[in-house]
Structure 1
Amino acid sequence: MIGKTLDQRYHIIKLLGQGGMAAVYLAEDTQLARKVAVKIPLPHTAQPFAQRFVKEAITLAKMTHEHIVNIYDASIDQNIHFLVMDYVDGVSMDQFLKNKHPLLVRDVLQIILQVCRGLSYMHHEDVIHRDLKPANILLSKLGKVKISDFGLARQLASETNLTKSGELLGSTLYLSPEQSKGEKATKQSDIYSLGIVLYELLTGEPPFDSTEPVTILLKHIQEPLPDPRQINTDIPASLYHVLQKATTKEPTERYQHVMELYAALDRILKSDDIDHVADLRHLFERGEPKYELEPDDTDKNSISEIIEDTAEKPRLTEQKNSADAAGGDHFYTVLIIVTVLGGVLFFLAKRELLLFLWSVQYTFSQEIAFLGEIF
């Protein structure tokens, strides 16, 4: 796809990320001269999910919010279905977690508060996401959080035959107990999933995990939420209580509206339990790790960094024996260069001094000779 132009308008630049159903590419909208994200179903899913893509486009087109990835266009070109959306110049929270990037409690709360505002707007429009997870929460370099990937969202007011009863469409790590049982998802299901995301951002790991998806589903149904303070001691007790309420097994016992969760988290953020609140843009100031949203390329990036580092070394260092090419070589190389330069400068300075003294002596002797001739 890279290098291809869709609809004589969207020039594909590079792959941003890929899931089980679709790939997302960075593209240039040549008509409006702006960068956009283009979502294209994978070849083996294009035909079965063509209707789902159309439905997603219709759902997204109805919603415009600062904390939701907005859709610009939906079309078919060269037998390729695609959606054109906001391009968020930043990183997904999933990528943050994969890079073991530490997050302070205050930063996590600010992220989730923005998600709450976007989710509240969706719920007001009678749409539930059904697949809230870190990979679907994007953070721009300007500190703006947006909810993405509405491929699993559906209108509450309408029925659809695209989703069979009991079909588990969301990721098992974040699926609510009722969805795990095959029951209908509700707004409270989104609140449960958001609570699990909150737990993972605070601790760096999901509360329920296993190599077997069925085991994870059973844990969501049966096991109580582990205490995150055993992993992150900076978490205040008040935040743990909010987590417990958001992730109770019974939907009626959870927060009934996402803005109730928002209010509880906002009170904690403004309390004395949390330190100074900073803008989320500071998360990108360090510049590491690099956030290329490409799947499973950790080893590739590491090798590339080694190659680039080697290419930038001075030629003198490259010619040394590999066993001696460690950090100490740089010191000795610099020492030799400084010594040689110092010697040259000293020699030149000494030479100039000798020439000056010789000139003075010669001039003085000439003056003496001249005076002798006079007298």
Structure 2
Amino acid sequence: MTSPAKKTPLRTALVVQKTDWRTLIVVSSSLSLRRSLRKPSRPASQPIHSVRFTGYARDRNQGGWTMAVWRTEQEEGLPEIPGYRLMRVLGYGGMSTVYLGQQLSLGRDVAVKVMRQDVVGDEIGRRRFENEARTIARLDHPHIVHIHEVGRTKDGLPYHVMPVLPRGHLGRRNLVRDEARIREILEALLSALAYAHSRGIVHRDVKAENVLFDDAERPMLTDFGIALRRGYGSRVTTAGTAVGSTAYMAPEQARGSEVDLRADLYSLGVLAWEMLTGALPYKAEDGLSMALKHVQDPIPRLPPHLSQWQRFFDRALAKTPIDRFADAQGMLEAMRKVPHAQRQPLRAAIARFRGQHGPRKLLTAVGLMAIMVGAVVVAAQMDQRKAAETWAELRASATLSSPVSEPSIELDPTRGAPVPDPTDAMLRAVPESAAQRHIDDAKRQLQQNRLIAPVGANAYESVMAAWNSDSGHVDLPPISNRLIAALGDEAENRLRKGDEAAVRDLVSRVGRLATQSNGRHASAVAQLNKRLATTLSSKMDTALARHDRTAAAQVVDSAKALGMGRSQVAALQSRIERIAKPGDKVADSATGEMTLVMTEGRMVAVSRNPVTRDAYAEFVKATNRDTSLCRERVSPLRLLAPRTWQEPGFQQPGSGPVVCISWKDAEAFARWKSQRSKQRYRLPHANEALAVARSEGQKAVSEWLNDCVGGNCERRMSSGRSWRDGKGVRPLDAQRGYDDVGFRLVREM
């Protein structure tokens, strides 16, 4: 066999040499194709039909990462099955090949799934294949693919026969502009899942590629190879292993935890998001990163035109199963309550408003609309009543029979001109102040929380207009105090959110109000300044707790911008000097000297020194921790020459790094230290370990990391070169020890 002469990047390493029908290619950490584990049985000139990546392996001779690549069968030598004629390959799966065939007795086309020869000897692969047949055989639903027949080929390979679904899978369709069709597909799939769940079956791999369409365009749920049947445990997977497709995988499934029907509903929620938006809710470079996003990242927000769906997805994609829909029927009912954008535009608009602003603002908006409608109706009724009264008065005056004569005024030459009667003037109402209308407007606007907007119809402008109209109005001081208090609340809220521009505007308006009132509100302004100073101090406390100098400097800038006194600004400035910087050294009673590292916006302290044998001995004495294996289980030396952390096979002082301890031992040590010291210790992640150089002893050791391997947390990563291995990173069994692997600690700040 010939190997490629030049190195190949990891992403293009699937372009391998032309060899036999089944070849395992290994890609080393140098990214070159190193060797083949199987000699070719065919001339190298024959082309490869397809290549499929299966997982990672370890190159023991070279000590580096490897990547296994399997090539599938050529389209020749089709299996022979009595009663069927196989015509060509339709596709390849992880355990089987799917052929287009014809059932001779009925003359109909069928799909025949045949287990690959190399999987027959693999217990897990064989069980998955058999599990699919047994599972589908128990299900009879119009949206679940069914099986016609099962059996074995002439070569003894298991097979089962299914209908041909020629319309392709859901992943090849763009339904973004067809919400009605999306709802039809979701209803069909929810019906299928409800049926499967009622029979104790959890699919565990709901994704676009597993939804096929028949000739009638009906969606059909397929591929029950890793389905879990209630009462049968998880025999088709290894315990603690995450199975399924990470792009659609529920958080508990990604962690390798036990799953129930709510994991299927989560996956269907991802599929619904993908159909509506044309993209997955989370994007990542690889499967591990994708799984972590499902576990850790918040539920994303939909674009505005789809926000009526947001509440549905907030529940469908909840991180914990208890927060999701209880069953498929509940999810279906919730989906039917989501207004259709084309058929129910008003309901959809209300739902979008609620999805964007929350139920409280929705109720406020509805209340405002009701008030406005009510005001219009009342005004119309009052106008009608007033018009009727005026018309009645006119009619009465028109029917008077005799005119009223003017009263005679007698002149008294001794008193001069006559004095008019003051009665009418005394009974006339006092003229209304010009400020009253503005004050009434301000009261109403304060109730509606219209403090400074919209322009021309807000409380601030109304109060200022009242002061300009009649500064002596008795109601002006109390309404001004209410406005200043409300502006203060808003300024404090905006300051917490970091919106400095809005805070400066609000404080400026309060200052103008105080000036307009000739100092009558000086105490209210002083109280506002005190509240803002308290808020700034609280923000500084938060920055100190996080060791975030940037955030602390922003607090000082905010104090200056808001015109705080020099003493207040100086006090805040002095507190910044207490914040440690990345790279600073800090003492630690548990691990000695530690170095501060900023990672993902948080400061942590990373130890330079690995945990010593003496420190670990204290832990074992206090907890009676059992000793972990330090050799392979199959190694005969495990019995003849056992190794433990006390006797790793070479001499070590008590101050040397402890080895022959498992990841679980190291994690238990970190918890024990946390309980004793009231600090939170843990093992480092890869980026934290790389940020702080390790102190190397005479015999260098690698160190355990907190990072899982490909979503499987029964295997953990180790970092750093050791006396036994020259490579920097390798995956290891978390439950056993290694004589060249120790651990360091990280302390949360």
Is TM > 0.5 for Structure 1 vs Structure 2?
yes
Read off the aligned partner of 1:91 and give its amino acid letter.
G
| Larger RCO (alpha carbons 8 Å, 6+ apart) | 1
Equivalents in 2 of 1:51, 1:214: separation in Å? 26
Task: Tell me the residue number matched to 1:148.
Answer: 222
Change (3 A) 1:45 1:246: same
Read off the aligned partner of 2:240 and give its amino acid letter.
G
Task: Tell me the residue number matched to 1:261.
Answer: 331
Task: Tell me the residue number matched to 2:271.
Answer: 197
* 1:93-116 Cα shifts (integer Å, max 9, x gaps): 1222xxx56552221111111000
SS in 1 for 2:216: coil
Question: Could you tell me which of 145, 168, 175 is aligned with 1:69?
Answer: 145
Change (3 A) 1:141 1:73: closer
Read off the aligned partner of 1:186 and give its amino acid letter.
D
Task: Tell me the residue number matched to 2:162.
Answer: 85
Equivalents in 1 of 2:177, 2:83: separation in Å? 39
Q: TM-score, normalised by structure 2?
A: 0.34
Equivalents in 2 of 1:74, 1:123: separation in Å? 24
Across the two proteins, how many residue pairs are aligned to each other?
267
Read off the aligned partner of 2:287 and give its amino acid letter.
P
* Preserved CA contact (<8 Å) 1:106 1:275: no
Please identify which structure carries the higher helix content: 1
* 1:321-366 Cα shifts (integer Å, max 9, x gaps): xxxxxxxxxxxxxxxxxxxxxxxxxxxxxxxxxxxxxxxxxxxxxx
Equivalents in 2 of 1:14, 1:93: separation in Å? 23
* 1:45-79 Cα shifts (integer Å, max 9, x gaps): 34312232222212211111101000111211113
Equivalents in 1 of 2:175, 2:320: separation in Å? 33
Superposition RMSD in Å: 2.1
Task: Tell me the residue number matched to 2:610.
Answer: none
Gaps of 5+ in 1: 277-375
SS in 2 for 1:132: coil
Change (3 A) 1:95 1:19: farther
* Preserved CA contact (<8 Å) 1:68 1:118: yes
Q: CA deviation at 1:267?
A: 3.4
Equivalents in 2 of 1:82, 1:272: separation in Å? 44
SS in 1 for 2:168: strand
Equivalents in 1 of 2:76, 2:142: separation in Å? 29
Question: Could you tell me which of 195, 198, 210 is aligned with 2:284?
Answer: 210
Read off the aligned partner of 1:142 and give its amino acid letter.
A
Q: CA deviation at 1:34?
A: 1.5
Read off the aligned partner of 1:174 and give its amino acid letter.
Y
Gaps of 5+ in 2: 1-74, 345-749
Equivalents in 1 of 2:296, 2:242: separation in Å? 18
* Preserved CA contact (<8 Å) 1:13 1:25: yes
Task: Tell me the residue number matched to 1:105.
Answer: 179
* 1:220-262 Cα shifts (integer Å, max 9, x gaps): 01112222326xx3x2x33221112111001001001111111
Question: Could you tell me which of 243, 252, 258 is aligned with 2:313?
Answer: 243
Equivalents in 2 of 1:204, 1:45: separation in Å? 36
1:7-22 map, 5 Å: 7-22=81-96
Read off the aligned partner of 1:193 and give its amino acid letter.
S
Higher-Rg member (1/2): 2
Equivalents in 2 of 1:3, 1:248: separation in Å? 49
Task: Tell me the residue number matched to 1:273.
Answer: 341
Equivalents in 2 of 1:91, 1:36: separation in Å? 15
Q: CA deviation at 1:16?
A: 2.6
SS in 2 for 1:138: strand
1:191-340 map, 5 Å: 191-229=265-303, 233=305, 235=306, 237-268=307-338, 271-275=339-343
Q: CA deviation at 1:42?
A: 3.6
Equivalents in 2 of 1:123, 1:274: separation in Å? 33
Read off the aligned partner of 1:114 and give its amino acid letter.
A
Q: CA deviation at 1:151?
A: 0.4
* Preserved CA contact (<8 Å) 2:117 2:157: no
Task: Tell me the residue number matched to 1:293.
Answer: none
Task: Quote the sequence identity (%).
Answer: 28
Is structure 2 residue 245 aligned with structure 1 residue 171?
A: yes
* Preserved CA contact (<8 Å) 1:2 1:12: no
Equivalents in 2 of 1:213, 1:272: separation in Å? 34
Read off the aligned partner of 1:119 and give its amino acid letter.
L
Question: Could you tell me which of 198, 209, 216 is aligned with 1:124?
Answer: 198
